Homo-oligomer: A and B are copies of this chain.
């Protein structure tokens, strides 16, 4: 027999999962709650909905229509949140521009995404001025003066607030196909051009609902409608991890901090009693230092930490100040929600056990997570066996825009390849061990370069270290440690291997991890976003290594 389908009433509403519906219950239940922007103002959800309508109207006046890309270059603001809603709700595509990229890459992403209208904060006027000549597709730039009094630049069609004030708040938003693209942005690799990912209305609505499950868990790690939210991951970066959509759906009080300035962040936190944020470890470090300096009480502040691993040390430090810190894992391609930490039931109050659990993550609802070998065979969930983490979920990017080859690689075998090497333990806790391209495959074993680096870093005289794989005729690959040495220290292979041998005897790393060679360098090369450029290190040392010089 065929599957059974219902015969809907003629007028039964075919409810598409479009972003506009995320506002519905907030408008009913939180219409007087406020969305705050720095120390410059606040708006109720009712006013916010009017401003969303005005933004759509002003964009339409500038020629915006369905399917068009509209790009935003702004700090985290209520305006950015307005664009999160207005642009997709009118059927257009929101491009969140990574303003930290070099100008040529910004130009590349705007051209590649076919952006036709730009909303630009005055801090980025020089950047826009530099790239505009290479952006033939851009029809209009709206200047965001952000309360300052300067003259409008010649390239601007008008100013955000002035245009908004003159536009109608009653834009006739309609429902449409939930599979329409809502947002796009670009990921940055260590080489080559940025790659564009995109997300549909359906994907973002599902991402929002699924986010709410683990983040909203009633175990002291989550949030609810009564919380006060302040993002500390830029809104151009993977939808600020999707939380602005969740916070709006729940009608939470929201605080947008503009450009991240440590003392402003502390002040906003104190003034609005912020209870929930999310950030990368670097920002957390900065927050803790700023809080120390300004005497800010950060207790009761729940922060999801992602982007890089939340170390147990940093987690413990934040907890000592009364923060609740939770690891999160995801990437640009995943919307980003994949997995979130949670306390292991029965271990509540046991500090070490809580830190252990809170620095790993478990899959969110509707995430299918596997670890697999090179042939996509499942590997055991024993907390030890390493494999590539591959995923299915309803909100993963379907492709890299206009890059069929990279898209096919991403989705090879019907699963999205994270290129992260992970272990999964019997209770589902995922730990990311290394990047696939950085792992060292030697004698049938996988060695995490990160684990090896952590060991070598403890050796006497080592300032900084990167471990990379070098091709090896007999073993496939062998590790090479590239080390920055403390002035005056005499580094030997024995010194470097001391902590590795200790780990081997404790059984925490394979005996194949023992080094046969190392290279001493002045400093480690880094990428534009500050990560160690292992690709360059591999290339630099390949010849030496093959010649046996290192």
Interface of A toward B, CB cutoff 8 Å: 1-13, 15, 17, 21-22, 24-25, 28-32, 65-69, 91, 93, 176-177, 179-181, 198, 200, 205-206, 209-210, 212-213, 216-220, 222-227, 249-250, 342-343, 345, 362-369, 381, 392-394, 396-399, 401, 404, 407-408, 410-416, 424, 426-428
Contacts and interface: CB of A to CB of B under 8 A. Distances in A.
A40 to B, nearest CB: 24
- Chain A: interface secondary structure? loop
Given A93-B4, A398-B8, A219 B224 contact: yes
Given A209-B210, A225-B217, A5 B366 contact: no
19 contacts: A1-B66, A3-B91, A4-B67, A5-B181, A8-B407, A11-B408, A11-B411, A11-B413, A13-B411, A25-B364, A28-B362, A29-B427, A212-B365, A216-B216, A216-B222, A217-B225, A218-B227, A219-B226, A249-B365
Contacts of A205: 366
A427 B25 CA distance: 11
B226 A222 contact: no
A227 B346 CA distance: 11
Given A1-B66, A209-B212, A213-B213, 8 more contacts: A10-B411, A12-B396, A12-B411, A15-B394, A21-B366, A22-B366, A28-B369, A30-B427
Given A28-B424, A29-B427, A414-B13, A213 B209 contact: yes
Given A3-B91, A217-B225, A250-B213, A399 B9 contact: yes
A363 B25 contact: yes
A7 B207 CA distance: 20
A32 B426 contact: yes
Contact of A223 (B91, B212, B218, B415): B218
A226 B345 contact: yes
Contacts of A227: 218
A68 B399 contact: no
A65 B2 CA distance: 9
B3 A180 contact: yes
A15 B218 contact: no
A414 B12 CA distance: 6
A407 B1 contact: no
A477 B500 CA distance: 89
Nearest to A428: B29
A398 B367 contact: no
Q: Which 10 A-B pairs have the closest CB atoms?
A: A29-B428, A8-B398, A1-B67, A9-B407, A209-B209, A9-B411, A3-B180, A15-B394, A217-B224, A218-B224
Contacts of A218: 216-220, 222-224, 227
Given A6-B401, A22-B365, A216-B218, A393 B93 contact: no
A114 to B, nearest CB: 9
A367 B410 CA distance: 36
Given A32-B426, A66-B2, A398 B216 contact: no
Contacts of A24: 363, 366-368
Given A9-B407, A25-B364, A177 B3 contact: yes
A6 B181 contact: yes
A10 B408 contact: yes
B68 A13 contact: no
Contacts of A428: 25, 28-31
Nearest to A215: B218
Nearest to A7: B399
B13 A363 contact: no
